[in-house]
Amino acid sequence: MGFYKLLAFLIALTVMLTPLLSLDGTRPDGNGIHRESISETDKSDGESKDTADTARVLLKEENKVVELEITEYLLGVLAAEMPAVYHEEALKAQAVTAYTYLLYRRAVQSEKPDATLKGADLSDDSATHQGYLTPEAREEKWGSKTETYEKKLTEAIKSVSGEVITFEGKPIMAAFHAINSGVTNSAKTVWGGEVAYLQSVVSTGDRLSPDCTKTVVIKADELSQMLNGLEGCELSGEAEDWIGEIHAASSGYVSQINVGGEDYTGIRFREAVGLRSAVFTCEYKNGGFHFTTEGYGHGVGLSQYGADYMARQGSTWEEIIKHYYTGVEIEKI
């Protein structure tokens, strides 16, 4: 797929994703998707193109745009998106991912501006773009450890300054998530469109996470209300018969689930019910639906827990990135 066709697809994909970018405990949904593009000036030698010394960020709660020096911005992103206790190489991988996303997002804004951003490159809304914590928010989160953590993250950021993840010479849509079930998901499975560098890969360390497997019990009347938003879903009869066959891919991600006689994707059902992951099983007993999930987030791209695990096994940040993003290059621009 040519770059402009890919860019057009990713822009359309971004629009579909808006309710979608990690477990630190900061992400409410475990997702992390960092996407979109930059205005680029192609050079005859094929080298890349655009850099960012600052980031224009729409602070959602304050409803204002601020321009942040790049190290401060990335520090705030890492504080929002990844536990500061993670290994330095994992933090470096996240910093490069965050910077890549900023450039990618800037390109999308250049190609198809989003007026709601008021001239910003992106917002600090972690549900739609990329989280960012201000110095005050970082101090509130970390307390007495603020100085230690900020020094650690800043050193990681500066050590990878200017490094960008590219595919065919362009910054990628660097999606990430908190934890998976031991295998990442593909963009095609989650969003319906093939993205060459967002393929399913093994992520062994995730299954070692104490947060990998969780069970939640939802009462029948609560589930009924949650499923009101599913088009065509009509629940009738005994509650134990509401959910029928569940089909999962070899990766474990639910591809199709029958609810009230209608078939839905695992992703759509997960969103409606608020499950941590689309890798799940369901059992009805004692008047409630027992959902057991594996992983946390959409499962696409870099796994944050997996990155930390790989780093602790001796992998470099470059090896981590090239493991989770298929066929990419890392360029210093």
Instruction: List, for residues 305-319, the tens digit of each pLDDT value.
Output: 999 999 999 999 999
Q: Please tell me whether residue 199 adopts helix, strand or coil conformation.
A: coil
Identity (one letter) of the amino acid at 252? G
Question: To which H or E segment does residue 204 belong?
Answer: none
| 8: pLDDT strictly greater than 60 | no
Mean of the per-residue pLDDT values of the chain: 87
* pLDDT given for residue 29 in this prediction: 59
Average pLDDT over residues 1-16: 48
Tens digits of residue pLDDT in 146-199: 999 999 999 999 999 999 999 999 999 999 999 999 999 999 888 889 999 999
pTM of the model: 0.83
The distance in angstroms from the start CA to the end CA of the chain is: 24
Alpha-carbon span 177 to 182, nearest angstrom: 13
Q: What average pLDDT does the segment 79-106 reach?
A: 97
Q: What single string gives the DSSP state of each residue in 217-238?
A: EEEHHHHHHHGGGSTT----S-
**Mean of pLDDT values over 255-275:** 93
- Both tokens of 55, joined, read 């980031």
Instruction: Look up residue 23 and give its amino acid.
Output: L
- Strand locations in 183-318 (E): 213-219, 243-248, 254-259, 262-264, 280-285, 288-294, 302-303
Give 65's pLDDT tier (boundaries 50, 70, 90).
very high
Q: pLDDT value at position 52? A: 77
Q: Any idea which of 17-26, 73-82, 262-271, 275-284 has the lowest mean pLDDT?
A: 17-26
Cα gap 290→65, rounded to integer Å: 44
The pLDDT of residue 261: 87
- The predicted pLDDT at position 249 comes to 85
Looking at residue 201, what is its pLDDT? Answer: 96
Residue 296's closest CA among 81, 22, 68, 52? 22
Residue 128: which pLDDT band, with cuts at 50, 70 and 90? confident
Contacts 24+ apart (CB under 8 A), 221-230: 223/273, 223/289, 226/272, 226/273, 226/274, 227/259, 227/260, 227/272, 227/273, 229/272, 230/259, 230/260, 230/262, 230/264, 230/268, 230/269, 230/272
pLDDT for the residue numbered 229:
75
